[in-house]
Structure 1
Amino acid sequence: MTMLWLSIGTLLLIALWFLSLPLRRARAIHDWQQGFETDDRAEEQNLAVYERRLAALESACERGEVDVARFEESRHELERNLLEDTEARRRVPLRNPLAGRFVIPLVITALIAATVTGYRWVGANGDLALYAVVQEVLNPPGASPENLIVRLEEQAESQPDNPKVWALLFPLYQKVGQPDRSIRALERLIELEGRRADLLAQLAQLKFYVAGGSLTYEVQALVDETLDKDPRQPTVLGMLGVEAFDDGRYEQAIGYWRRALAGFEDSASAEVIRKGIAVARQRLEETANGAERVTD
């Protein structure tokens, strides 16, 4: 967390250096511009050109090469051109280089405030606090799920709308044998994340085991909703396989577990399913052999 704020502070300092650059260079730029305007001889050159052309025009008029009407017209045109050039080159007086010097500090202050506020509003400040808590609890000797639960419950009070808090809490409650709290934490996670198939499947599984492995009306409703969203959801299919196996419907259990097998990404879960299928096949064969002996 400290490193994050140090990084943000470093980036802010770089941004502030660039923002303050115009203020620091204002005097030098002002002096350069003023010197340029002082040394500018464009108006004198234009006036010299005007005087040369007017003298040439007067000489032509004296020699009779240009009549009086043409002379007056040409002289007015020269005066108009000189006036237009003068107006075009007229400059606004330079402002004091310190004018507006209070604007940049205001912009800098606004930038800092916007950065801090923006990060707290849309950044991952809560996630970083959560990560720090987990590292603090797990690293010392004697760390335990119970200690982590206590600290996570504090985080749940301070940031109840952070789904990652509840995503960490519900499996921990389940691990320490508190299924009711696990269900409540998972339901809160579903409120925040939406009724995703994977979350609904875990909720159905939790309530299934709390009900003693029975497909209650509530569990069945969750199963139906989950399979409607994702017909290949492995957690629900695996649970249905367990229910069918416990009820002696081995062929149906094998069917559920085969479908679940395609959806599991981790090899450990897939291996458990394969072993379950093997046991179910064995039970199915034993049942078939027993039925044949009874028939004989």
Structure 2
Amino acid sequence: MTPLWIAIALLLLPALWLLIAPMRDARTLRDKLDHFEANDTADEQNVAIFKRRLASLEAAHERGDMDEERFKEDRLELERSLLEDTASRTKRPLKTATAGRLAIPLVMVAVVGASTFWYQQNGAEGDLTLYAIQQEVQNDPDGSLVMYLERMEAEAERQPNNPNVWSSLFPLYRETGQSDKAVDALERLIAIEGRIPPLLAQLAQLRFFMAERELTPEVQSLVDETLAQDPRQPTVLGLLGIHAFDNGDYETAIDRWRRAVANIEDPETASSLREGIRVAQERLGVEPEAAAVEAAQSQGVRVTVSLDEALMDNVSDDASVFITARDMKGELPPLAVIRAQVSELPMTVVLDDNAAMSPQAQISQVREARLVVRVSQSGQATPQPGDLFGDLESVSVGPISEDDAANVVIDRVFE
């Protein structure tokens, strides 16, 4: 950790220099201020102006241009103005050039202390320690998994609230066959990070295999809690597929594994699930290649499109309707496009890979999509002012169900 603290010290040096820098010119600045005040003639100028105005006022009185009462009022006002000008210029004596120097070291110490405390509370010193341990074990000629595990266990005692410690220990325990310790590490991680679906799914999977691939009440409870938050959680779907396969329910196993493959990111795990699907299909006497094509085509979104009654008079029945699925970040071309006419509304369509515009951008490649429906009187694919449209964000992409459809209402005008 020495290089880290050296780097922090180097970053603090400019801040400390900025605290000291003003003191270097303090004496020069005080001399300039002192010289300015010593040669300040503002008061003399105010008095001279007062005398000129008073003389002018007296001359007017002698000429009879104003009576005695008006003369006294104007003279009193003139004197009051002089007093206000001179009173507002009362100056406090200048402090010495060394005034406040003792506060600088105190401020510097406070800055260093506050910065160190803040980093210890919010910094990544603990994670850097974990990384250093990993590098040391990898570079040690005698380094082993056992050594790494021992170092991480020692670090867990020093950093019991660091989630990265437990997320590292959990797979280590699992790989070394220490299931009870793996469960404990995972539960410690859940206590820190919260009961989020990925962690609950891993805990359910671990307890499932510890129970010899049985859906015990404890495992079922974890499965239900996970699916309530994320019905497409691939780890739990894979677990349910294994249980169905073990019980001879190959159709359910295939369905669960297909849904898991559609939402999984690890290519090796996806490959294992596809192999399981292939075996289950053989048990059912289904041709694997045909089933694979069917599975690919079944991934998509069923969409019900309707036109707001308030806008029905704005378009003709033969106007084009473009039903489009896009990726959430908007980085890919349209994933699926279907063209229809207003006269066909309301209608229900399926956006799947058959509606893709390019093999490089298909709806089966994403887990969520944004649906955009646009009515174009001109028939152009590019939006034009006056076109009607409706959209729907974050629509789940998965196995297409006859009973489940996303509803998009065309209810706005493109400007």
TM range (shorter): 0.7 to 0.9
The answer for unaligned runs of 5 or more in structure 1 is 287-296
Post-superposition offset of 1:123: 1.7
Q: TM-score, normalised by structure 1?
A: 0.88
Post-superposition offset of 1:91: 1.6
Give, in whole Å, the separation in 1 of the partners of 2:73 and 2:52: 17
Residue in structure 1 matched with residue 182 of structure 2 by the alignment: 182
Residue type matched to 1:82 in 2?
A: L
Give the 3-state SS of the residue equivalent to 1:262 in structure 2. helix
Residue type matched to 2:101 in 1?
A: R
Residue in structure 1 matched with residue 242 of structure 2 by the alignment: 242
Post-superposition offset of 1:208: 1.6
Q: Would you tell me which structure has more strand in proportion to its own residues?
A: 2
Q: What is the total number of aligned residue pairs between the two structures?
A: 286
Write out aligned runs for 1:41-52 (5 A): 41-52=41-52
User: Which segment is superposed worse, 164-173 or 249-258?
Assistant: 249-258
Post-superposition offset of 1:142: 4.0
* Residues 1:170 and 1:64: Cα distance change in structure 2 (over 3 Å): closer
Residue in structure 1 matched with residue 150 of structure 2 by the alignment: 150
Residue type matched to 1:123 in 2?
A: G
Residue type matched to 1:126 in 2?
A: G
Give, in whole Å, the separation in 2 of the partners of 1:113 and 1:132: 25
User: Which segment is superposed worse, 155-164 or 248-257?
Assistant: 248-257
Residue type matched to 1:128 in 2?
A: L
Residue in structure 1 matched with residue 134 of structure 2 by the alignment: 134
Write out aligned runs for 1:137-286 (5 A): 137-285=137-285
Give, in whole Å, the separation in 1 of the partners of 2:86 and 2:77: 14
Post-superposition offset of 1:25: 2.5
* Residues 1:53 and 1:270: Cα distance change in structure 2 (over 3 Å): same
Residue type matched to 1:260 in 2?
A: A
Residue in structure 2 matched with residue 89 of structure 1 by the alignment: 89
Post-superposition offset of 1:39: 1.2
Answer yes or no: is 1:121 the counterpart of 2:121: yes
Post-superposition offset of 1:63: 6.0
Which of structures 1 and 2 has the bigger CA Rg? 1
Answer yes or no: is 1:6 the counterpart of 2:6: yes
Give, in whole Å, the separation in 1 of the partners of 2:170 and 2:83: 85
Residue in structure 2 matched with residue 79 of structure 1 by the alignment: 79
Q: Deviations over 1:9-46 (max 9, x none)?
A: 12211111112233332222211111111111112222
Identical aligned residues as a percent: 55
Post-superposition offset of 1:76: 3.8
Post-superposition offset of 1:73: 4.6
Residue type matched to 2:282 in 1?
A: Q
Residue in structure 2 matched with residue 105 of structure 1 by the alignment: 105
Q: Would you tell me which structure has more helix in proportion to its own residues?
A: 1
Give, in whole Å, the separation in 2 of the partners of 1:74 and 1:87: 20
Give, in whole Å, the separation in 2 of the partners of 1:171 and 1:78: 90
Give, in whole Å, the separation in 2 of the partners of 1:61 and 1:216: 113
Residue type matched to 1:202 in 2?
A: Q
Q: TM-score, normalised by structure 2?
A: 0.64
* Residues 1:148 and 1:61: Cα distance change in structure 2 (over 3 Å): same
Give, in whole Å, the separation in 1 of the partners of 2:42 and 2:246: 102
* Residues 1:145 and 1:53: Cα distance change in structure 2 (over 3 Å): same
Q: Deviations over 1:198-245 (max 9, x none)?
A: 111111111221222222222222222222222111111111211222
Residue type matched to 1:18 in 2?
A: L
Aligned residues: CA RMSD: 2.2
